[in-house]
Structure 1
Amino acid sequence: MGKYSKFNSFKGFKWPWVNRKYKDTVFRLLFSKDKHALLDLYNAINNSHYDNPEELIVNTLESAIFMGMRNDLSFILDTSLNVYEHQSTKCPNIPLRCLLYVSSLYQQIIDESNLYSSKRLQIPEPHFVVFYNGTESFPEETSYRLSEMYEGRSTDPELELTVKVLNINQGMNKSLMQSCEELNGYSIYVAKVREFSQTMSFQKAVNSAVDYCIENNILRDFMEKERKAVIMYSLTRYNQKGHMKLIREEALEDGIEQGIAIGKEEQLTLIIKNMLSLGKSPEEIAESCNCSIDEVTAVINKSKELISK
């Protein structure tokens, strides 16, 4: 067991700025329930050879969106604290969100009274990885840095945080995919959903993609066991607040599809206002509307200007 096994039990602190409207994802479902899969993913990223899944201490903030960041996976292994996130849109602001998020994790694992001790504390070193599988052109690997967000750039920033971004679309990072069967399987599933949705409804595309994976021994056990959940998360991004919320979101999605078809700025503005009222982040809005973060921000700013007049 790693040296941070004592942090397996976390304090039940309720964060006032945490949004409890977390919506699960297929990515998180795949890796959060299977420590073997999560360990394989870690080894593939770090070229390491850990072989005991029980050494993983999963410390994901359950059922929460922290400052707009949907935390998919966070865990401690040996002396490292790892935060993994899946994104389908570009995410240049994620270093700041990671900074805020990891601060909350440290507050969970460290006794506050020890902060004032004369003895130096030892804490796990944080590492941040984003898995990108959006449709926009993106390099195989890149990094976002907190210092890139500073208004005044310095050559030697006193506070830095780096997020590694890996493109997991089919054809990208082949070595990584070969090293992690589960990640490659997830990438194939997403690619098949997109492929099938070109010729059939999205619901049929999701079902067909699941069937394809099972028939071709791609995440077969996972797909057979979690079929209903995979389809549900893919179609609706299930929200635990219940059926009425789901109905509202389905109605909103219908409006989004109509708005995109119309292509009017006024309609897009209305959609964004509605999504903001439902607690959606700019990233979620961009993903749902199939537009860039910059476009969403521009519409939001214009809306604010109209309100102030």
Structure 2
Amino acid sequence: MQTKDTVQTRIPQKKYKDRLFRLLFSEKRDLLELYNALCGKCYTDPEALEITTLDDVIYMGMKNDISFLLDGRMGLFEHQSTLNPNMPLRGLFYFSDLYKQFFYDRVIYSTRLLQIPTPVYVIFYNGEREAADTSVLKLSDAFIQGEDMACLEVCVRMVNINVGHNAELMKRCGLLREYAVFISYVRGNLLIMEPETAICAAMDQCIADGILAEFLSKRRAEAMNALLTEYDEEKVMRSLSREFYEDGYEAGCDAGKKEGKAEAVLELLEELGDVSSDLRERILSENDLMLLKQWHKEAAKAESIQMFLARTRLI
């Protein structure tokens, strides 16, 4: 029987590591149960599910979580322990690669409309920051010019899987519920223990309580390896966040958005006539992004600069 003392020496040496979430749902029957619980379906044949995960896609030193095909849907399930508003962009890249693979040997320039698997993108969040039970992240939230004339959208459903959230989902998927409990045990232990000791103690407690008992007993070293790597990732992300704040990164992004919106307003007005230096200076000096967005809408509808000035009360 494996003991705590042998865990460290028996950790598999891999170039890239798996996440614990990916390990837990690597079996088709478990992934199908999670899909059914999340989407309100009742599929019973695990073999109807085709795993499409791209193993060569690496993020923070770890393999991507899980992607699959089922009944005309292309699913991407990811686990995140840090809130990341850029997941829609990451999903766009990943789905693009999946579709390239799916249509590799098909003629996409034919006159016949190809049937495309419907994308389903879900993030399972279990970080320590507060988050709603369910929320939606949209690619368009990051567009410099907003949704005006945008021809592309990616929506990500983020599901909070911390203990105390999404009770109905947890009832429908026992493995997900037990995973949430195990992580809560680890986090509680981390308050008073070093990471490796905290994880070992949580494993022992879960096995004794019948929580993920079979998985943790058989794959203890892999689970330890995955969690230690994930906590390293969290440290890196927190460090990067601090650096970005210190460098004024977010302030710079906001400034870039404001400048871009102001320039867009001026471009529309220049199509209507000569823009005075005073008006140009006034628009470029505005710091309220919401007001600039409103001016942009008015500039798009205006038939003359005077009409724009009257509607925006800039005269």
Q: TM-score, normalised by structure 2?
A: 0.69
1:131/1:166 contact within 8 Å kept = yes
Residue identity over aligned pairs, in percent, reads 40
Query: Which one of the candidate residues 86, 92, 95 is aligned to 1:93?
Result: 86
Aligned equivalent of 1:220? 213
TM-fit CA distance, 1:69 = 8.9
Give the Cα separation in 1 of the matches to 2:171 and 2:247: 42
Q: How far does the alpha carbon of each residue in 1:255-279 deviate from its partner, in whole angstroms, 9 at most, with x for none?
A: xxxxxxxxxxxxxxxxxxxxxxxxx
User: How many residue pairs get matched?
Assistant: 237
1:164-218 deviation digits (Å, cap 9, x = unpaired): 0001111011111111011111111110001112222221110111111111111
1:127 equivalent to 2:120? Answer: yes
Distance 2:63 2:205 in 1: 28
Choose from 47, 53, 73 the match for 1:60: 53
Change (3 A) 1:293 1:94: farther
Q: What is the CA-CA distance between 1:157 and the residue it aligns to?
A: 3.7
The residue type paired with residue 25 of structure 2 is F
The one of 40, 44, 47 equivalent to 1:51 is 44
Structure 1 residues 67 and 211, CA gap change in structure 2 (3 angstroms): closer
Structure 1 residue 222, shift from structure 2 partner: 1.0
Q: Which moved more, 1:111-120 or 1:182-191?
A: 111-120
Rounded Cα–Cα distance in structure 1 between residues aligned with 2:141 and 2:98: 24
- State which of 154, 173, 191 in structure 1 corresponds to 2:166: 173
CA contact under 8 A between 1:23 and 1:237: conserved in structure 2?
no
Partner of 2:19: 25
1:126-205 → structure 2 map (5 Å cutoff):
126-154=119-147, 157-205=150-198
Tell me how far 1:295 sits from its aligned partner. Answer: 2.9
Please tell me whether the aligned partners of residues 178 and 212 of structure 2 are also in contact (alpha carbons under 8 angstroms).
Answer: yes
Match of 2:242 in 1: 295
Deviates more, 1:68-77 or 1:142-151: 68-77
- Residue identity matched to 1:228: A
Distance in 2 between residues matched to 1:189 and 1:227, nearest whole Å: 13
When residues 21 and 101 of structure 1 are mapped into structure 2, their CA distance, relative to the original with a 3 A threshold, is farther
1:23 is displaced (CA, Å) by 2.8
Equivalent-residue separation in structure 2 for 1:171 and 1:296 (angstroms): 32
From the superposition, tell whether residues 69 and 199 of structure 1 become closer, same or farther in structure 2 (CA, over 3 Å): closer
8 Å contact 1:82–1:127 — kept in the other structure? yes
Aligned to 2:35: 42
CA 1:82–1:68: 2 relative to 1, 3 Å: farther
Distance between the aligned counterparts of 1:129 and 1:189, measured in 2? 21
Structure 1 or 2, whichever has the larger Rg, is 2
Contact preservation (8 Å) 1:21, 1:63: no
- Aligned residue for 2:121, secondary structure, equals strand
CA distance in 1, matches of 2:167, 2:239: 27
Change (3 A) 1:113 1:42: closer
Cα contact 1:21–1:65 (8 A) shared by 2: no
Query: Which stretches in structure 2 are left out of the alignment for 5+ residues?
Result: 1-13, 253-315
**Structure 1: unaligned runs, 5 residues or longer:** 1-19, 239-252, 254-283
Q: Quote how far apart the aligned CAs of 1:90 are.
A: 0.8
Q: How far off is 1:83 after superposition?
A: 0.3
Query: What displacement does 1:55 show?
Result: 0.6
- Given that residues 86 and 130 in structure 1 are in contact (C-alpha distance below 8 angstroms), is that contact kept between their aligned partners in structure 2? yes
Normalising by structure 1, report the TM-score. Answer: 0.70
Kept in 2: contact 1:35–1:53 (CA 8 A): yes
- SS of residue matched to 1:152: coil
The secondary structure found in structure 2 opposite 1:291 is: helix
Distance in structure 2 (CA, Å) of the matches to 1:70 and 1:91: 17
SS in 2 for 1:115: coil
Q: The residue matched to 1:40 in structure 2 has which SS?
A: helix
Q: Cα–Cα, structure 1 residues 69 and 209, in superposed 2: closer, same or farther, change >3 Å?
A: closer
Structure 1 221/156 Cα, relative in aligned 2: closer, same or farther at 3 Å?
farther
RMSD: 2.6
Q: Work out whether residues 124 and 160 of structure 2, in 8 Å CA contact, stay in contact via their aligned partners in 1.
A: yes
Alpha-carbon distance in 1 for matches of 2:37, 2:192:
35
Q: Name the CA distance, whole Å, in 2 between partners of 1:237 and 1:67.
A: 9
